[in-house]
Amino acid sequence: MRFEPRRNKTVSPRARRLRVAGGALCAAALAATLVTGCGQDSGDQTSASTSEAAKVLPNQTTSPSGSVSGSPSETAQLTEDQAKRKELLSTAKITFDTAATTAVGEVSGGKLADLDLEGLDDDDASGSPSPSGSPSSTGSPTGGTGPSPEGSASPGGSGSPSPSGSAGAPKWVAKVVEEDGTAHDVTIDAVSGEVIDSSPDADQSDADKKKLADQISKATQTPAQAAKVATDKKQGKVTSIGLDENDSKVLVWQVDVVSKDWKKTTFDVDAAKGTIKDEQVDDD
């Protein structure tokens, strides 16, 4: 019996191709599994990161200031005076026209001669002497003639039993004049609208009364009309108005308007004709 030598088993080309193809399919399947797994994980991580970012910055917008009236986006950009105006006007709820109506209502037959938001640009007063001799350091930023709007806190006044008003609240201080020139000082809480004090100026001289009576009779333009002339020229909030003579001895309403950039513009409005005689912008 003759033995044939053992031959190595050979793999047919077709079988080799099948094995290679099968290996490739397995590798592709594994790669697909890995890719799918990674994709899901990446998506989950991205979603989680987005969710966490939303929690940290829920209110971020293209306008980081979030401020009203187009005010500067950063307080650091404001000057000291502008920051003070922004703070005070953001607190005051009673507007100029409401305060004017309230003040005039305190004096029968009276007319408004001066109205200021206390604590706002007080150091800008023109320094016109006050006939009342009031020691008040705030003065009138309009430089109006006659007694200081703050006046004396006379115990006999008809004001509110709570002379201090709301704690820390800004105040409107007004001067209301009777037909004979008698001035009354009226203080109004600029948050609640409550009249804090209303009292006649006991320090007026006869000459003071005569001058005020003469000015009031010549001012055919009302404070409200003068304020409208000013705000038609420069949109903003009226923070002060006062009757005075300008350098040319023309009787004018001096009107302060604070615009949305917190700058103040002072207008001299002819008290008889209603035309603007002068305009000064305070850049501070």
pLDDT digits (tens, 9 = 90+) for 92-103: 999 999 999 999
pLDDT tens across 36-76, in order? 444 444 445 544 444 443 343 334 333 333 333 444 444 55
pTM equals: 0.61
User: Is the predicted pLDDT of residue 148 greater than 90, yes or no?
Assistant: no
Query: What is the reported pLDDT for 70?
Result: 45
Average pLDDT of the segment spanning 272-279:
97
Q: Is the pLDDT of residue 229 over 90?
A: yes
DSSP 212: H
Residue 174 CA to residue 269 CA, distance in Å, equals: 19
List, for residues 118-140, the tens digit of each pLDDT value. 988 764 433 333 333 333 333 33
Distance CA 192, CA 231 (A): 25
**Does residue 245 register a pLDDT over 90?**
yes
Spatial strand order of the sheet with 237-245 comes to 195-200, 183-189, 171-177, 111-117, 237-245, 251-258, 264-270, 276-282
The region of weakest confidence among 34-38, 179-183, 243-247 is 34-38
To the nearest whole number, what is the mean pLDDT of the chain? 73
Among 167, 75, 89, 73, which Cα is nearest to 121's? 89
Q: Contact, 222 vs 241, CB < 8 A?
A: no
- Neighbour-count burial of 36, counting CB atoms closer than 10 A to its CB (0-12 exposed, 13-18 middle, 19+ buried): exposed
Asked if pLDDT for residue 7 goes beyond 80, the answer is no
d(CA 137, CA 118): 11
Find the mean pLDDT for residues 159-184.
80
Q: What is the pLDDT of residue 159?
A: 41
Mean pLDDT of 80-84: 93
Q: Which two tokens stand for residue 97?
A: 């026209």
